[in-house]
Amino acid sequence: MADGLVTARKLVEALASRGLGEWSADAVRQWVREEPPCPIAKAGGRGQAHRYDVEQVASWLRARDGKEKVKGYTPPPDSSAPAQRQQPAGQGQQGGGINPALMRDPRNHKAFHEARLAKLRADEMEQRLIPAEELESAMRQLVLSVRSSLLALPSKTARVLDDCETFEERRAVIEREVYQVLTTLAEAGAMEKNNEAA
């Protein structure tokens, strides 16, 4: 180490001592495959590890966007900021999206799916999810209501259409009857929703 270059293990220690976060040696190995890649001061050969210049890597890290999304990163503690909920592996920072780089590693699949299952359970407990049976029943009732209303439409409008003399009058009658059916269905749905809330 007389040349001032360090291995990945020593590099992460040096980065942590500079307040650039806690990283793993695996993260450093991933960095060299990124675009732009982490600077390697001296490439390793067979059985030899790459060597890094701490200053170059620190500058590269500071210039890089989204470092918190890279595997192996733990942000430096900030005593002034409120504690944030830790995200499960495989989830990006915005909108719960999946970070594709993390999902390439099979070790992250299990953690991602466990986190997803825990979220689904929490949503179910907080009643943010509707059981499939209830949804199926409600949809069946809705379809039957729409069907019966539409089947009644021709006999309802036939009598009125006999009295119409022009195409425009017939179109207006049919349009009015369709809107009446739709309004009736919407009002029935609103009444059912109010009954459930009470």
User: pTM for the full model?
Assistant: 0.34
For residue 62, give both structure tokens: 């500071």
Whether 1 and 9 have beta carbons less than 8 Å apart is answered as no
pLDDT at 8: 87
For residue 96, give both structure tokens: 């719960």
CA 95 to chain centre: 5
pLDDT at 149 over 80: yes
% pLDDT > 70, the chain: 71
Pick the CATH number of 1-74 from 1.10.10.10, 2.120.10.30, 1.20.1630.10, 3.40.50.2300: 1.10.10.10
Mark 12-34 as b/e (b = at least 16 C-beta within 10 Å). bbbbeeeebbebbbebbebbeee
DSSP state, 69? G
pLDDT at 197 over 70: no
Q: Where are the domains of the chain?
A: 1-74, 91-129, 132-197
Write the CB contacts of 74 (distance below 8 Å, at least 6 apart in sequence): 21, 22, 23
- Count of CB atoms situated within 10 Å of the CB of 93: 12
Which residue in 146, 152, 172 sits closest to 161, CA to CA?
172
Residue that has been written with the tokens 């993260």 in this structure:
27
Q: Give the Cα separation of 65 and 119 in Å (integer).
A: 28
115: confidence class by pLDDT, cuts 50, 70, 90: confident
pLDDT at 80 over 70: no
Instruction: Please measure the distance between the N-terminal and C-terminal CA atoms of the chain and give it in whole angstroms.
Output: 74
The mean pLDDT value for 166-185 works out to 88
Q: Give the Cα separation of 47 and 158 in Å (integer).
A: 89
